């Protein structure tokens, strides 16, 4: 993986600018991906499961997540959550802050609203950079990842009805293809499914969250050879 903080000639570059120029501008947002031709094709849970037919595009629900990059002295961190054990779906799974979009809401408005509701992140502390590659889940969501930079100090408080824990793995760890494992598991229907997974301490980052982060890696650094 190329170090985003330096060029091949060793000259220091602005990491925020380097990432931003590789994202889609906010004005190009299309919640369901129905208009225009994106610079990067939509990714999905079906990419690693070619034997499973994708859903009808008209059946997807528009959603957005926030990839919040915290600019710490030791390097970027990424805010992730573990969903509350009391939720009806995706119980206890690791997720990026986010959720379905309200009518008339842009992806970045939705991502900031959800992050504020779930973890108390003040929207005014987020410098929006752009959009990463849209991701379609097997559960029927068309997710637009919104990338933003956050400068500490920040105080986060999990909403106990939605979030059990907040943690912040290093960006470099999440962007290292050596940490992107391919695993297999069973769906509730009993089918076998392949997905990306990353272990960070006691936290297992997998499924759509890992797929969205993998897509961000491929956008920034190019597809990994694995």
Judging by DSSP bridges, how do beta strands 75-78 and 43-44 pair with one another?
unpaired
Backbone angles phi, psi at 206, to 5 degrees: -150, 180
Backbone angles phi, psi at 114, to 5 degrees: -65, -40
Instruction: Give me the pLDDT at residue 37, please.
Output: 45
Following DSSP, what letter does each residue of 71-116 receive, concatenated? EETTEEEE-EEEE-TT-SSSTT-EE-SEEEPPTT--HHHHHHHHHH
| Cut 0.75: pTM above it | yes
**Is residue 170 included in any domain, yes or no?**
yes
Side-chain half-sphere exposure of 213, counting CA atoms within 13 A: 31
Instruction: Give me the pLDDT at residue 33, please.
Output: 57
Q: Each residue of 33-90: pLDDT tens digit? A: 555 445 567 899 999 998 887 788 889 999 999 999 999 999 999 999 998 766 555 5
Query: For residues 134 and 142, what is the distance between their CA atoms, to the nearest angstrom?
Result: 7
User: What value does the mean pLDDT take over residues 193-203?
Assistant: 95
Maximum distance among all Cα pairs of the chain, rounded to whole angstroms: 52
**Is residue 74 included in any domain, yes or no?**
yes
Counting the structural domains of the chain, the total is 1
Instruction: Give me the pLDDT at residue 10, please.
Output: 30
**Is residue 9 included in any domain, yes or no?**
no
Of the pLDDT bands very low, low, confident and very high (cuts 50, 70, 90), residue 30 is: low
**Is residue 2 included in any domain, yes or no?**
no
Contact (Cβ atoms closer than 8 angstroms) between residue 32 and residue 207: no
**Is residue 26 included in any domain, yes or no?**
yes
Task: Identify the CATH number of the domain in which residue 53 sits.
Answer: 3.90.79.10
**What is the rounded average pLDDT for all residues in the chain?**
86
User: What value does the mean pLDDT take over residues 29-35?
Assistant: 58
**Is residue 4 included in any domain, yes or no?**
no
Q: Which pair of structure tokens corresponds to residue 166? A: 């907040």
Q: What is the percentage of the chain residues whose pLDDT exceeds 90?
A: 70
Strand partners, 146: 66, 131
Whether residue 17 is predicted with pLDDT greater than 90 in this model: the reply is yes
**Is residue 115 included in any domain, yes or no?**
yes
**Is residue 3 included in any domain, yes or no?**
no
Domain limits for position 188: 15-221
Whether residue 6 is predicted with pLDDT greater than 90 in this model: the reply is no
Q: What is the percentage of the chain residues whose pLDDT exceeds 70?
A: 83
Query: For residues 197 and 204, what is the distance between their CA atoms, to the nearest angstrom?
Result: 7
Residue 223 neighbours by CB under 8 Å, 6+ apart = none
Contact (Cβ atoms closer than 8 angstroms) between residue 171 and residue 75: yes
Query: For residues 144 and 117, what is the distance between their CA atoms, to the nearest angstrom?
Result: 18
Nearest to 42 by CA among 175, 146, 182, 144: 144
Q: Each residue of 102-153: pLDDT tens digit? A: 998 999 999 999 999 999 999 999 999 999 999 999 889 999 999 999 999 9
């Amino acid at each position: 993986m190329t170090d985003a903080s330096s060029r091949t000639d060793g000259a220091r570059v602005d990491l925020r600018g380097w990432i931003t120029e590789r994202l889609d501008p906010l004005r190009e947002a299309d919640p369901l991906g129905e208009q225009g031709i994106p610079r990067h094709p939509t990714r999905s849970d079906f990419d690693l499961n070619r034997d499973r037919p994708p859903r009808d595009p008209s059946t997807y629900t528009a959603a957005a997540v926030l990839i919040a990059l915290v600019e710490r002295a030791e390097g970027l961190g990424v805010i992730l959550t573990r969903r509350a054990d009391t939720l009806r779906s995706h119980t206890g799974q690791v997720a990026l802050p986010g959720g379905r979009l309200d009518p008339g809401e842009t992806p970045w408005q939705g991502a900031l609203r959800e992050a504020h509701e779930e973890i108390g992140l003040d929207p005014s502390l987020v410098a929006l950079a752009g959009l990463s590659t849209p991701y379609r889940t097997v559960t029927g969501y068309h997710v637009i990842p919104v990338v933003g930079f956050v400068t500490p100090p920040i105080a986060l408080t999990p909403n106990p009805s939605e979030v059990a824990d907040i943690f912040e793995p290093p960006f470099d760890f999440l962007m290292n293809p050596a940490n992107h494992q391919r695993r297999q598991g069973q769906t509730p229907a009993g089918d076998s499914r392949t997905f990306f997974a990353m272990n960070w301490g006691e936290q297992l980052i997998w499924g759509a969250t890992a797929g969205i982060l993998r897509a961000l890696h491929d956008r920034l650094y190019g597809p990994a050879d694995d």
